[in-house]
């Protein structure tokens, strides 16, 4: 993956995911952006062999809720990895910082507490323009990148089991 276009990658470097099952938890805040991240993630999973019935999508109100939504998925389904998708845009108050810290720490903690990977697909941008550029615009789609990361981490775990 280059730094100019995060979604550029060599497809042959991604393991076959035909027998894997993934959860995606997506935040409804800035839904124009997060729906595009979701489309990218789903399309990329399918491109690498994941079937529709092995992609479980759940929505949460905002990025702060991604951690608990992902924990619910981990508890109630049998998944190889969980992708967390959100978009936090800086406003005039420190709210941005607290949400970013909360979700970053939360997802990190899930990675350490559960025996499956949780992927951080959350855009943290200064404005909507930057978010659009990274959700299907000139900087690619962070949803694609999150899906590739999920497949690679799930394959790594299978390899080591
Ligand atoms: C409250 C809030 C604000 C101001 N901004 C965003 C944002 O840019 N992106 C996002 O995903 N969520 C935002 N939220 C909502 C919080 O994530 C959360 O849903 C509420 O604080 C309720 O817990």
Residue 25: its H or E element? strand 22-27
Q: Where are the beta strands (DSSP E) in 37-148?
A: 55-60, 81-89, 118-125, 135-137, 140-141
Q: Tell me if 75 is assigned to some domain.
A: yes
Tell me if 143 is assigned to some domain.
Answer: yes
> Does residue 4 belong to any structural domain of this protein?
no
Give the global pTM.
0.95
Ligand 1 close to Cβ of residue 102 (< 6 A): no
Does residue 110 lie within any of the structural domains? Answer: yes
Query: Which residues form the catalytic set?
Result: 95
Domain span including residue 138: 13-160
Q: Would 51 be classed as within a structural domain?
A: yes
Q: Are 133 and 27 in contact (CB under 8 A)?
A: no
Residue 54 falls inside a structural domain: yes
Task: Quote the tokens at residue 140.
Answer: 């690619």
* Counted domains in the chain: 1
How remote is the CA of residue 48 from the centroid of ligand 1, in Å?
A: 32
Between CA 24 and CA 45 the distance in angstroms is: 11
Mutate to test the pocket of ligand 1, among 27, 34, 63 (most ligand atoms within 8 A of CB): 63
Ligand 1 pocket residue status of 80, Cβ below 6 Å: no
Q: Which residue has the least CA distance to atom 15 on ligand 1?
A: 62
Under the banding of pLDDT at 50, 70 and 90, the label for residue 8 is confident
Examine residue 76 and state whether it is found in any structural domain, yes or no: yes
For residue 130, the domain's CATH number is: 3.40.50.960
Has residue 61 been placed in a domain?
yes
pLDDT, one tens digit per residue, over 30-84 is: 999 999 999 999 999 999 999 999 999 999 999 999 999 999 999 999 999 999 9
pLDDT 10s digits, 93-102: 899 999 999 9
- Which residue did the predictor score with more confidence, 30 or 91? 30
């Amino acid at each position: 993956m280059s730094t100019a276009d995060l979604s550029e990658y060599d497809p042959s470097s991604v393991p076959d995911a035909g027998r894997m099952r993934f959860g995606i938890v997506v935040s409804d805040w800035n839904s124009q952006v997060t729906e595009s991240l979701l489309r990218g993630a789903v399309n990329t999973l399918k491109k690498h062999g994941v079937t529709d019935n092995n992609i479980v999508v759940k929505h949460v109100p905002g990025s702060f809720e991604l951690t608990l939504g992902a924990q619910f998925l981990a508890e109630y389904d049998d998944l190889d990895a969980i992708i967390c998708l959100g978009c936090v845009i800086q406003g005039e108050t420190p709210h941005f910082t607290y949400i970013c810290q909360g979700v970053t720490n939360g997802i990190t903690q899930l990675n350490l507490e559960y025996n499956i990977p949780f992927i951080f697909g959350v855009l943290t941008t200064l404005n909507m323009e930057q978010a659009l550029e990274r959700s299907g615009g000139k900087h690619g789609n962070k949803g694609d990148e999150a899906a590739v990361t999920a497949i690679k981490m799930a394959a790594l775990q299978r390899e080591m089991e």
